[in-house]
Structure 1
Amino acid sequence: MAEKRTSRGALSVLLLGTLLISPVSAVEFADSIFIGGPVLTMEDRKPQVEGVAVKGGRILSVGTEEEVMDRKGANTEIHDLKGRALLPGFVDSHGHVVVGGLQALSANLLAPPDGEVRDIAGLIETLNGWVEENAEIAQRVNLIAGFGYDQSQLAEQRHPIRKDLDAVSAEIPVVIIHQSGHFGVLNSPGLEAAGIDASTDDPDGGLIRRGEDGGPNGVLEENAFFMALGKLFGGIGPEGFQAFVKAGAGLWASYGYTTAQEGRATPQTTEIVKAFGAEGALPVDIVIYPDVLVDRDYIAESVSLAYDNRVRVGGAKLTIDGSPQGFTALRDRPYYDPVGDYPPGYAGYAAATMEQVISAVNWAFDNDIQLITHANGEGASDMLLAAIKAASKESEGEDRRPVLIHGQFLREDQVDSLQALDVFPSVFPMHTFYWGDWHRDHTVGPVNAENISPTGWIRSRGMKFGTHHDAPVAFPDSMRVLDATVTRRTRSGDILGPSQRVDVLTALKAMTIWPAWQHFEEDEKGSIEVGKLADFVILSENPLAVDPENLDQLKVMETIKEGQVVYRADGTGYQGAFPAGTSMAMGREFLEALEDAGSEE
């Protein structure tokens, strides 16, 4: 992979040099020019300009209005921003675009402000409403699915159980997915379809919760849930998953992302994404990280820095622990006040053994493959850092850019280790909004909650970092990501860790140029510079000029991929780019995909 990086970088330098030294001539007239509003470049030497000219999907000129208008030809389209702000397209530091499509096609079980579910009765009512509107889909795939419930936001402060979901259907399997993605609940037919009963043992790195009779109560944790989900989705087929991909890619585009990530895939889902990309239907780039514990040979054969039909395999994904808000993240100390039936001193558990972590890290380093690792609790981060430190001694100087995903409860000494080991932190400041109050009161307590997602510690050391949404854990709402990173305001209005705040420009870099660097794509994306791809997002206002408390009110007006509009807020962009809340439209498309698949059999 190192050889590929060298040739790719040389090609980018050659292209950039050619564009910079070529004299202006008729062939250098722009296809389009954007003027009439602030252009935020993310380039320190020229952070804000008046206009951008684009030719052939790349940036031709950046500068004053007069400078870019020099590139106007007879066929150049002039786009008046009308005071709105143009920025580089957002680069997804971590998300799950395929499962994000599932979220878009499922019953919305999120709590306010992203949904309306406040208690278990409301959850059941929402599921029943989805069934009424999507009865054909439920019958066709033999599954009723809901996404986004969160016991911390339910009035009962408990997970629903199988008996609750049996009220939705006693014949069709029902599965509801926790907002973290690390838990799920099945009804009785769902448990039967997944092959889970009183005699089923807990898998490694997972737990089947049980009732007083010893039988499964429907709640599955971590690997127990992932295994069941695979069985339940067996009837959806490749065409159904392609519908997920289209819905997910469209959802990402609607929030201004021009590069999406599928942050934990199998070889099968990777090939489905590739097949969909080959149809020329993707509005955005997708970089995929298959699970390193599933098929390493496939990853080694597939990894590349070059996109093929807007899809590439960027490296491998390792998952060490689970969900902090669900008390399955591995801590280095007991949880503060966990809600539920937990033994004294409970500190969570690992989803991977130390031997697996060492093996995965050593393999990635030996094969020059980027490894991104999910580690939420301090204990999980200790496991990762120890493995990387040992592997680094054997191969110093290589540029692999290993990534820590989440790191919710990082200690300050662990941030020092990230810096020393050249590990890129992709953090999750949206936790301060969605679960900040929960972390303060139950997971880590009021003192340590101040330092979750410690962007202040990271920047004080001069480190780059990425911020993410981890969709479908939350919607891929770019302005919510920006707001949470800058304000750290919780749902209740509390400010969690004011010392960990960063300024707006820094927060924007963590959504653009720094995650582009994370993906080895800084020569192509992440800033508005001559020669780079014309990947842009147009916002309703300039984020550097509004009150920081109103950042979450900014709107994505257009998303532009390589000079072409792939999303418009008025609905005239790419037809797959459905804004949040249009599940009925996507549901119909999903059903059509399944019907088309059936007609081909």
Structure 2
Amino acid sequence: MHEHADLVLTGGRVHTMDAAGTVAEAVATRGGTIAAVGTAEDVAPLAGRGTRVVRLAGRAVLPGINDSHLHGVWLGAMWPALLMDRLAGTGGHAGTGGHAGTGGHEHTAPVRLAGEERVAKAILRTAGLLAPLGITGYTEPGLGPGEDGGATGCFGTSALRAYADLAERGELTARVTALMLFGELDGRSSADELAEGLRTFAPPPDVPGRFRVAGVKIFADGIPPMRTAWTERPYADGSTGALLVDGRDDADREAALRAMIDAAHAAGHQIGVHATGDRATRVVADALATAQARDGRDARHYLIHGDLLSPATLEVLARAGIGLNTQAGIPVATAPLLADALGADALRDAWPVRSALDAGVRLSLSSDAPVLTPDWRAGVAAAVTRAGLDGTVRGPEQRIAVADALRAYTVTPAWQDGAERWKGSVEPGKAADLCVLADDPLGVEPAALPSVPVEMTVLDGRVVYES
């Protein structure tokens, strides 16, 4: 006799995202995990008196969406404002700068969160935004003592404590992974400060299944439109940008960056590095690969953004098992700015997601919200069409298939989290994190995907959103 399920979804298209790309008809959950996946007949015996049965009537089921680079506190503080909306409103470079005009975010936006209680309210506001989008997990990329004196209060140690407290109380409706930050967001850092932080800073303890501090975020350079990305080719004024790490010259700064990566790896941390210029991405890929090769640890390091990536750099990432975490909406919005800064030839190596997949790089797509909307459906559409809001296609040779884009929001982020054995796909024994859509994402026109409603979000087998 079968033990009855808590929830059965049946009569639809269940995109399991398993290694074989299996599409099933029904899924059952029990005790927070997937109990069965298969045909309606396979799953029917698990439905008992206490089971909730949802007739999908052709609707689609995906694994819960994992936005692997999303600033949860900042999003909750800023919503509904988005930085890319500001960029569109200015028609130029305003709104794209970062701390002191050096980085990729404008976190001098008019928000100021003082105190853990206000930070917690921002996190809960974000939770209320993400659950209706089918998002069951995200990575908060950079919180810690480097930003305790920051302009917004969104990125300091109080945010780490707030996440841990909310997770302990069971108030988070998404699984959150965090990276520590020992420098300024989008700004300067130093090898000495990072080493001191690694020695003295104690993050809050993990809350299993809900909140985990996985590693360290490092900023290598800025962004191309602000002429602050570190590039091989010169900008119009002859400059090539520079690393944000303290140092006397390029060689000194590069040595310091490599020392930071070595130290964080030796301390047992995962490392995510913000790098955009082709020179920065080349050096970061090599430094991560070199650090990892010293002890052979499968550290799940990854490069963030990767605006400019040469084929040789992609090969290094693939060979070393280093991930790439990027945002498909950025190229469709900012390619003209990149071309203006570095010339049209630079677009050949710009946001090469198709080339990355072909090279064997593990690709995660994310929103970087509130830079872009947290709506992953818009991210998938951008990755598949490479079309902006005006219909202009940017880099059509780098378009990817819908199935690849969905894996980049589910399976690969689970790998990035070091959690692919227990989440990221709809398979028996894995976490019952699910997203139910009104239509099949593989059956609609990609440009229309953002208008396909999310009808249910399930976390640990519990319905956290229902339309």
- TM-score for the superposition, normalised by structure 1: 0.68
What secondary structure is seen at the aligned counterpart in 2 of 1:490? coil
Distance 1:540 1:356, change over 3 A: farther
What secondary structure is seen at the aligned counterpart in 2 of 1:558? strand
One of 132, 156, 166 as aligned partner of 1:276: 166
Distance 1:287 1:109, change over 3 A: closer
The CA distance in 2 between the partners of 1:224 and 1:472, in whole Å, is 9
What secondary structure is seen at the aligned counterpart in 2 of 1:282? coil
- 1:446 corresponds in structure 2 to 344
The CA distance in 2 between the partners of 1:224 and 1:33, in whole Å, is 43
Distance 1:298 1:498, change over 3 A: farther
**RMSD over equivalenced CA pairs, Å:** 2.5
How much has 1:566 moved relative to structure 2? Answer: 1.4
- 1:94 corresponds in structure 2 to 69
How much has 1:445 moved relative to structure 2? Answer: 3.4
The CA distance in 2 between the partners of 1:439 and 1:245, in whole Å, is 33
Distance 1:221 1:45, change over 3 A: closer
Could you report, residue by residue, the CA deviation over 1:302-335 in whole angstroms, capped at 9, with x for unpaired residues?
Answer: 498x644711111111111123333322222223
How much has 1:221 moved relative to structure 2? Answer: 4.2
> Does 1:436 pair with 2:335?
yes
Distance 1:509 1:320, change over 3 A: same
Q: Is the 8 A contact 2:59 2:437 kept in 1?
A: yes
The CA distance in 1 between the partners of 2:285 and 2:67, in whole Å, is 24
How much has 1:292 moved relative to structure 2? Answer: 4.3
- 1:72 corresponds in structure 2 to 47
Q: Is the 8 A contact 1:486 1:502 kept in 2?
A: yes
- 2:397 corresponds in structure 1 to 499
Q: Is the 8 A contact 1:97 1:252 kept in 2?
A: no
Q: Is the 8 A contact 2:289 2:317 kept in 1?
A: no
- 1:261 corresponds in structure 2 to 139
What secondary structure is seen at the aligned counterpart in 2 of 1:508? helix
The CA distance in 2 between the partners of 1:528 and 1:51, in whole Å, is 10
Structure 1 runs of 4+ aligned residues shifted over 4 Å read 220-226, 301-304
Q: Is the 8 A contact 1:33 1:72 kept in 2?
A: yes
Task: Write the letter of the residue equivalent to 1:296.
Answer: L
Task: Write the letter of the residue equivalent to 2:118.
Answer: G
- 2:432 corresponds in structure 1 to 534
Q: Is the 8 A contact 2:116 2:161 kept in 1?
A: no
Distance 1:52 1:446, change over 3 A: same
One of 237, 242, 250 as aligned partner of 1:349: 242
- 2:60 corresponds in structure 1 to 85
The CA distance in 2 between the partners of 1:465 and 1:222, in whole Å, is 23
What secondary structure is seen at the aligned counterpart in 2 of 1:37? strand
Task: Write the letter of the residue equivalent to 2:62.
Answer: L
One of 15, 32, 37 as aligned partner of 2:7: 32
Aligned residues: 436
What secondary structure is seen at the aligned counterpart in 1 of 2:140? strand
What secondary structure is seen at the aligned counterpart in 1 of 2:217? strand
The CA distance in 2 between the partners of 1:496 and 1:279, in whole Å, is 45
Q: Is the 8 A contact 2:82 2:369 kept in 1?
A: no
- 1:45 corresponds in structure 2 to 20
One of 410, 425, 437 as aligned partner of 2:324: 425
Which structure 1 segments of 5+ residues have no match? 1-24, 112-147, 160-177, 184-205, 208-219, 337-343, 571-601
Q: Is the 8 A contact 1:437 1:490 kept in 2?
A: no
Could you report, residue by residue, the CA deviation over 1:36-72 in whole angstroms, capped at 9, with x for unpaired residues?
Answer: 2111000133510000011011100000000001111
- 1:154 corresponds in structure 2 to 90
Task: Write the letter of the residue equivalent to 1:380.
Answer: A
- 2:127 corresponds in structure 1 to 249
- 2:198 corresponds in structure 1 to 296
Could you report, residue by residue, the CA deviation over 1:8-57 in whole angstroms, capped at 9, with x for unpaired residues?
Answer: xxxxxxxxxxxxxxxxx35x211110012111000133510000011011
How much has 1:409 moved relative to structure 2? Answer: 1.0
Question: Counterparts in 2 of 1:66-465, with a 5 A limit?
Answer: 66-104=41-79, 108=81, 149-150=86-87, 153-154=89-90, 157=92, 159=94, 178=95, 180=96, 182-183=97-98, 207=100, 220-222=101-103, 233=112, 236-266=114-144, 267-293=157-183, 295-297=197-199, 301-302=202-203, 307-308=207-208, 310-335=210-235, 344-352=237-245, 353-395=253-295, 397-440=296-339, 442-465=340-363
Q: Is the 8 A contact 1:465 1:514 kept in 2?
A: yes
Fraction of identical pairs, as percent: 29
The CA distance in 1 between the partners of 2:69 and 2:32, in whole Å, is 25
Q: Is the 8 A contact 2:93 2:225 kept in 1?
A: no
One of 555, 565, 579 as aligned partner of 2:453: 555
The CA distance in 2 between the partners of 1:502 and 1:59, in whole Å, is 29
The CA distance in 2 between the partners of 1:224 and 1:158, in whole Å, is 12
Q: Over alpha carbons, which structure has the higher Rg?
A: 1
Task: Write the letter of the residue equivalent to 1:347.
Answer: T
The CA distance in 2 between the partners of 1:279 and 1:32, in whole Å, is 24
The CA distance in 1 between the partners of 2:69 and 2:83, in whole Å, is 20
Which structure 2 segments of 5+ residues have no match? 145-156, 184-193, 246-252
Distance 1:491 1:414, change over 3 A: same
Could you report, residue by residue, the CA deviation over 1:264-317 in whole angstroms, capped at 9, with x for unpaired residues?
Answer: 101332112112222221111111101144522466x5498x644711111111
Distance 1:62 1:402, change over 3 A: same
Q: Is the 8 A contact 2:83 2:371 kept in 1?
A: no
Task: Write the letter of the residue equivalent to 1:154.
Answer: T
The CA distance in 2 between the partners of 1:259 and 1:95, in whole Å, is 10
